[in-house]
Amino acid sequence: MYQLKSEYEPQGDQPKAIEDLVKGIDNNDRFQTLLGVTGSGKTYTMANIIAKTGRPALIMSPNKILAVQLYYEFKEFFPDNRVEFFISYYDYYQPEAYVPTRDIYIEKNADINDVLVKMRLSTLKSILTRRDVIVVSSVSAIYASGNPRDFQRINLYLRAGKRYPRRQILEKLGKMLYTRKEDDFSGGTFRWKGEVLEIYPPYEDFGIRVLFFDDEVESIESFDLYNRTPIEEFDKITIYPAKEFVTSEEKIQNAMSNIEEDLQRQIEFFKSRGKLLEAQRIEQRTRQDMEFLETMGYCKGIENYSRYFDDRKPGDSPWSLLDYFEDDFITFIDESHIAVPQIGGMFKGDYARKKNLVDFGFRLPSALDNRPLRFDEFLEKIKQTIFVSATPGNFEMEVSDQVVEQIIRPTGLIDPEVVVRKTEGQIDEFVSELNTVVKRGERALAVVLTKKDAEMLSDHLNLMGIKSQYLHSELDTIERSEVVKKLRNGEIDVVVGINLLREGLDIPEVSLIAIMDADREGFLRSETTLIQTIGRAARNVNGKVILFADRVTEAMKKSIEETNRRREIQMQFNKDNNITPKTIIKKLPDDVFAPFKSEMDEEDYVFAVGEGMKPEDYYYFLEEEMYKAASELRYEDAANYRDEMQKIKNQHNLKV
């Protein structure tokens, strides 16, 4: 079913890893782990498993940059099959929120990216109509989506030679949320002139032209949107809804009585506790939404009423992308040591924000059911799963029926040499090493602890004549990708950052990594983080990592031991097979982020909230987000909020 195309064949320990994991799937193993070192070809291994098992596949990535890279790689591996992309469709997203400590209500504000909407709709259609489908997704896969039965059932089916009353087709297109327009040929519209119906599905790159004779369909063809020339003729066709969330008029009417019932219950609840303001607020806001629903079939924030449309009970699991797949699909969770905790924390953060809206009368309790999946719900829906990471977490190791190691790199590259040096004079030592690296035409990374350290070290290196640039959370997704591109192209020699793991760095040109203050224990110097960071230098034959520290912590000891264990296996394999290691050569795609140029990471939304807010209100909003992140063990996010608070305080001389 799948046609895997590659100029390479599985090498090293890839064949055994593929064989063992496929055998595990055939034996109905629920969970497996692929422990693959950086540069060992984990993506190619996943592609081979998909091709050999012949099942639909979902590949989840912990961030969008990695998701984009995976999407392009799988498109190259499977050009004749359906490879789809499913991430958040917002260019800008400011969620609805209420900060009770300052009595600040923040209205939802979002800009939707039409390209990403199209890709999401294409994903849903492909899953429902094909078996040879591979979906690369971010954590958007666990967020509430439309009911798959509604999306599949509410469609327009046309066949050449059959008769269809015109009114019936018009009503059907309206229910599918298509808009009739005579001069706008964008996705989600249609026009009917004389005997010709033209439909512009938002999930396709072409239009559909249906020629009638009276009520009978004479012919159906696809056509080019620009030249308007025919592409292909069909005997029959199915047109799917124009939007992800679609429901029937009957369901809307049924929902109205349930909304009214819950509204009365919530009003009584507030009044019985003397909360008259909240009672008035919830009645006014909900009745306004109900009026829009009755007259327009839609209202702002309609997703907060999704439980009523889906006939779900309070607390029931929402529909998500996972519900569109058949039961035998395979899930790959890439960089699982990051993705698994991330998936587990999504529900808590969403619940905390919405509970304030419910408690203070801005939303009915049904808003709590428009949510991402809880971790237990996610595990129930994903069926057979393969975790993929160089450093799997405790959860993956505990639940896996088998852990398959992929230590050997096809290029023969071994893990980098790791040395420990004293912190005294660490900058001078790093500069000396850098000069050697630059002379070889290679690049370097420096890992520090704070944004200020990153900026200061970068400035110092530039003064020393070494082209440097810092990289941290104040740069948006696209700016970060541009820094990476400059490093690969040789416009800069070194990137200085705090946590360079989240960037999805895949830079064969990097041969030196310096980790400053490696003995400062914590999240950024944990065993997992150190092993992942060390792996960044494993794509270059001259790879070397320097840990600047005055003592060897337990995390340093374990990461060095694990790196040396892998080095021994790799060197023995090279010796046994007479392999000479070669640096990976990898072309950087031209403008890989073009479709997502103004896209914004979900974790960055909170910093956009400050636009249009009073500085002191923004400060307290950030403070609440900081405490929430800390309570959910998202310490890096908490530190980002803390830094933003300090910046606002200094900029506006706040007395807080």
Contacts of 256 (CB under 8 A, 6+ apart): 290, 293, 294
What SS3 class is residue 391? coil
The whole-angstrom separation of Cα 4 and Cα 149 is 31
Q: From CA 475, how far away is CA 487, in angstroms rounded?
A: 16
* Count of residues in the chain: 656
Q: What is the CA radius of gyration of the chain?
A: 27
Question: What pLDDT, on a 0 to 100 scale, did the predictor assign at position 92?
Answer: 61
Residue 361's SS3 state is: coil
**Winning range, highest mean pLDDT, from 190-194, 384-388, 479-483, 487-491:** 384-388
Q: Which residues are annotated as a binding site for ATP?
A: 36-43
**Residue 554 has which token pair?**
């337990």
Q: Measured between alpha carbons, how far is residue 598 from residues 63, 202, 205, 226, 273 in Å?
A: 16, 20, 22, 25, 46
Distances (CA, A) of 205 to 32, 133, 135, 159, 362: 38, 18, 19, 21, 40
State the pairing for strand pair 179-180/330-334. Answer: unpaired
Note if the pTM is more than 0.95: no
In one letter, which amino acid is 227? N
pLDDT in tens, 255-304: 899 999 999 999 999 999 999 999 999 999 999 999 988 877 778 888 89
Is the pLDDT reported for residue 589 higher than 60?
no
* Nearest by Cα to 404 from 11, 37, 9: 37
CA 415/CA 141 separation, integer angstroms: 34
- Across 115-119, average pLDDT: 81
For strand 31-36 and strand 104-106, is the pairing parallel, antiparallel, or unpaired? Answer: unpaired
* Maximum mean pLDDT: which of 119-133, 144-158, 640-654: 119-133
Question: In this predicted model, what pLDDT tens digit does every residue of 63-92 receive, in sequence order?
Answer: 777 888 899 899 999 999 999 999 887 666
pLDDT of residue 369: 93
We find that the CATH architecture of domain 14-145+315-406 is 3-Layer(aba) Sandwich (3.40)
* Of the listed ranges 350-364, 367-381, 609-623, 632-646, the one predicted with least confidence: 609-623
Average pLDDT over residues 429-456: 92
CB 218 within 8 A of CB 212: yes
- Nearest CA-CA partner of 13 in 521, 307, 597, 409: 409
Mean pLDDT, rounded, of the chain: 86
Q: Residues annotated as binding site?
A: 36-43
Closest Cα partner for 248 from 143, 324, 167, 172? 172
Cα–Cα distance, 120 to 24 (Å, whole number): 31
Name residue 480's amino acid: R
Note the pLDDT of residue 647. 80
pLDDT over 70 (residue 204): yes
Q: Which fold has domain 417-576?
A: Rossmann fold (3.40.50)
pLDDT at site 481:
67
User: For 500-544, how does the pLDDT look when each residue is reduced to its tens digit (9 = 90+)?
Assistant: 765 456 688 999 999 999 999 887 889 988 998 998 888 889 999
Quick one: pLDDT at residue 477? 52
Q: pLDDT tens for residues 553-572? A: 999 999 999 999 999 999 99
Q: Domain 156-239, what fold? A: Penicillin-binding protein 1b fold (3.30.2060)
For range 345-356, the mean pLDDT: 88
**Which of the residue ranges 74-78, 103-107, 426-430 would you say has the lowest mean pLDDT?**
103-107
The letter for the amino acid at 175 is: K
Instruction: Determine the pLDDT at residue 128.
Output: 87
Residues contacting residue 563 through CB under 8 Å, at least 6 positions apart: 415, 416, 418, 531, 534
